Amino acid sequence: MTHPVQHERYDVVIAGARCAGASTALLLARAGLRVLVVDPLPRGRDTLSTHALMRGAVLQLHRWGLLDQIQKAGTPALRVTTFDYADETISVPIKARSGVDALYAPRRTVLDPILVDAAEAAGAEVVHGLRVDALTGDASGRVTGAWLQDPEGRYRVQADLVIGADGLRSPVARMVGAPLLHRAEHATASIYGYWRGLPADEYRWYFREATGAGVIPTNGDAACIFVSVPPDSLKALRGDALDGVFHGAVQRVDPELAGRLSPELQAGGLRAFGGVQGFLRQSWGAGWALAGDAGYFRDPLTAHGISDALRDAELLARAVVRGGDDAMREYQDTRDGVARELMAVTDRIASLDWTTDEVKALHHRLSRAMNAGTDLIEGWDGEAISTVHAPAA
């Protein structure tokens, strides 16, 4: 039986090669650590996503030397964010700041492989088709490595740190018994689809009674259109019934847009997410840590998941490079300090129980919370950033 990985011991083993896992691997490998990333799914496989990147995430990709690849992949530059309410439409131009003058929403078939390729170029070992099956530990309870599984067998590796970047139902979080720190009260159900031929210069968010929706231009001359509705709306729905809920919601928020969603312009079928209440988990322990949705998940209605994942990946990478429990505690405290307000306002919006004036006020609050995350990224001092910046050519 051929062992699927190159070494028996690593500084860090990461479960999950999506946004959080690949970004963390990239930064740790650039800092000189021996990193293994495993993911059970095929390389570049699509996944359900709103695709939207906010300013902080675009700034990080720019600093890491990857934004030009996002642009070269044909990802449209979005220079306006428009909020469409029942009584008013408000357009906010994207002002140039810290080298960022536009937002982007790459397909995950674009973004994820770019991050994985960059991690490998930095020296990380990335293996798809391989999953973390169990963790190993010492007598004190500290995690010391992992058992890996593929169709051919089971393999053991040792590691100073195992990171779970394996999604909101994280097996690593379950294996270490990561405590739940906070649970949101609300969740929306979402339906996603793609249509070609729509305007490709802005994010557009709609808010009507018991309904949210968004139009997010992405690659391939297509826009991701999603609707967020109460979870009961999607129970046991399939096929034509799902289609009816989606088009009914679009009709409520923008009849003109609904008229443009002709079948001949649709790229692929509709996909649905039944909704999960947001949560914060303990993000580190003896020999383990969590990143991305494994440690922190919020309702997708506010389209901040990828931006959260990239921010937390760099927070975690910086803590790992510094080393020690104090650095990991700071990772937890900083993540929670940014995440709690984002989660609270997202939870209130996800209730879908607000007046137009109330949701406008919530969006002002959301903007302040998002700016706090961007300020954090901008404020990382030059010496610390140089540890995880793209190496000189």
Element (H, E) at 157: strand 153-164
Q: Which of 339, 308, 338, 334 is nearest to 322 (CA)?
A: 334
CB 145 within 8 A of CB 159: yes
CB 133 within 8 A of CB 149: yes
Residue recorded with tokens 């923008």: 254
Q: How far apart are CA 125 and CA 128, in angstroms?
A: 10
Question: What confidence score (pLDDT) does residue 392 get?
Answer: 41
Question: What confidence score (pLDDT) does residue 387 get?
Answer: 56
Rg for the chain, CA atoms, rounded: 21
Which two structure tokens, joined as six digits, stand for 276? 């999960």
Question: What confidence score (pLDDT) does residue 270 get?
Answer: 94
Q: How far apart are CA 9 and CA 159, in angstroms?
A: 6
Q: How far apart are CA 111 and CA 343, in angstroms?
A: 24
Question: What confidence score (pLDDT) does residue 393 get?
Answer: 37
Which two structure tokens, joined as six digits, stand for 206? 């709609």
Which two structure tokens, joined as six digits, stand for 162? 């195992």
pLDDT < 70 stretches in the chain: 1, 236-240, 381-393
Question: What confidence score (pLDDT) does residue 233 get?
Answer: 79
Question: What confidence score (pLDDT) does residue 253 get?
Answer: 97
pLDDT in tens, 214-267: 999 999 999 999 999 998 877 756 656 888 999 999 999 999 999 999 999 999
